[in-house]
Structure 1
């Protein structure tokens, strides 16, 4: 759980630092997306954000090898609470009472999960599940193609949901990779599912945030990356709770995800001009 919460802190803080760097790069001159990215890459905050993303991913992998998927998924969703608090501090974004309450709700949900979570399941996962994850990763790409043709909230929701499903494929695939030895790794469908699912999720989320509602896209992502993987972990991989604490784990999961959904606008740190409007 320490690794899972550490990953949430890394991802949440990285979002704010990268947003600060992107704004500074935009103020430094004109140009397309490529020019903006090059200017952002010259700023320490953007590079530090990328480094934090890398550390967060390593912590996520370590957590997935130690605790149930449902706990890790809820912890990753709680990165929105970290983003909200860091944005309030560094970007001077004013949080409403409801949003501060949501931060508290997320913390309460994670505390309940921490008390109730057992160790990761001892079921290795079947060959069929590995191929299913690969098929799901490819399906995420197809979902992105369909969502890209839509407009408005439906576009943002579908692309955000697809991104969440892609991140969910990554979560499950980590558990299905039992060795890093090259002969076995290269023949494991879960390894390709992890790469394709992660890349597809990043592309879909980027597209959703560029031309759609941040709140809608992030809400779809939170649902996609928590509910499905949690169910697979319990039903297929043997994830369990501490004896007699199943009810607390379910309650903590629901509370943490609900709190994250209330903070969905922080899927991308708000612009300074939006601060007062968002309160």
Structure 2
């Protein structure tokens, strides 16, 4: 759980640092996306954000090898609470009373999950599940192509859900990789599901945030990356709670996700002028 929470802190802080660097790059001059990216890469905040993203991913992998998927998914959704708090500090964004309450709700939900979560499931999952993850990753790409043709909130929601499903594929695929030997990785369909699902998720996430409602897109991501993977972990991978605490885990999961949804506008850290 410490690793899962550490990943949330890394991802949430990285969002704000990269947002600050990106806006500074825009202020330094015009140009296309490539020029803006090059200017952003020259700033320590952007590089620090990338480093935190990498560290967060490593911590996520460690957490997924030790905890049920439902606990890790809820903890990662809590990165929105981290983004909100850091944005209030660095960007001087004013959080409403409801949003401060939502931060507390997320923390309470994670505390309940920490008390109720058992160890990760011991099942390896059926063989077909690895191929199903590859198919799901391909479907995420198709969903992105379909969502790109829509407009408004429907577009943001569909692309956000697709990105969430892609991140969910990554969470499940990590659990389905049982050996890190190069030969085993190359012959395990879960390896390709992880790469394809992660790539598709970032592609859809970028598209959703560029031309759509950040709040709507982020809400879709939170739903997509928590509910489906949690169900897969419980049904096929043997994820369980501590004896007699299933109800507490379910309550903590629901509370943490609900709190994250209230903070969905921090999927891309806003400027103070936007609040």
TM-score by length of 2: 0.99
Confirm or deny that 1:71 pairs with 2:71. yes
| Partner of residue 158, structure 2 | 158
Residue 271 of structure 1 deviates from its aligned partner by 2.3
Aligned pairs (5 A) from 1:102-181: 102-181=102-181
1:219 Cα offset (Å): 0.1
- Output the CA distance in 1 between the equivalents of 2:62 and 2:253: 20
Q: Does 1:200 align with 2:238?
A: no
Separation in structure 2 between the aligned mates of residue 183 and residue 89 of structure 1, nearest angstrom: 47
1:220 is matched with which residue?
220
Structure 1: runs of 5+ lacking an equivalent: none
Q: Are the aligned partners of 2:116 and 2:248 in contact in 1 as well (CA < 8 Å)?
A: yes
Q: Separation in 1 of the partners of 2:123 and 2:20?
A: 43
- Give structure 1 regions of 4+ aligned residues with deviation exceeding 3 angstroms: none
Question: d(CA) in 2 for partners of 1:48 and 1:68?
Answer: 29
Q: Residue 272 of structure 1: CA displacement?
A: 2.9
| 3-state SS of paired residue (2:161) | helix
Question: Structure 1: how far apart are the matches of 2:170 and 2:51?
Answer: 19
Aligned to 1:190: 190
1:150-193 per-residue CA deviation (whole Å, 9 max, x = no partner) reads 00000000000000000000000000000011111111110000
User: In structure 2, what is the Cα distance between the partners aligned to 1:89 and 1:171?
Assistant: 31
Task: Quote the residue 2:2 is aligned against.
Answer: 2
Return 5+ residue gaps in structure 2 as ranges. Answer: none
| Cα RMSD, aligned residues only | 0.5
Structure 2 partner of 1:83: 83
Please give the secondary structure, in 1, of the residue aligned with 2:29.
coil
CA distance in structure 2 between the partners assigned to 1:79 and 1:217 by the alignment: 15
CA distance in structure 2 between the aligned counterparts of 1:115 and 1:183, rounded to whole angstroms: 39
Quote how far apart the aligned CAs of 1:88 are: 0.2
- What secondary structure, in the 3-state scheme, does the structure 1 residue paired with 2:259 have? helix
C-alpha separation in 2, matches of 1:242 and 1:91: 41
CA distance in 2, matches of 1:104, 1:94: 16
Give the corresponding residue for 2:61: 61
Question: What secondary structure does 2:255 align onto?
Answer: helix
Counterparts of 1:93-108 in structure 2, within 5 Å, are 93-108=93-108
Q: Using the alignment, how far apart are the partners of 1:118 and 1:93 within structure 2?
A: 37
Using the TM superposition, give the Cα deviation of residue 127 of structure 1 relative to its aligned residue in structure 2, in angstroms. 1.1
State the Cα distance separating 1:42 from its structure 2 match: 0.1
Query: Partners of 1:110 and 1:207 in 2: how far apart?
Result: 30
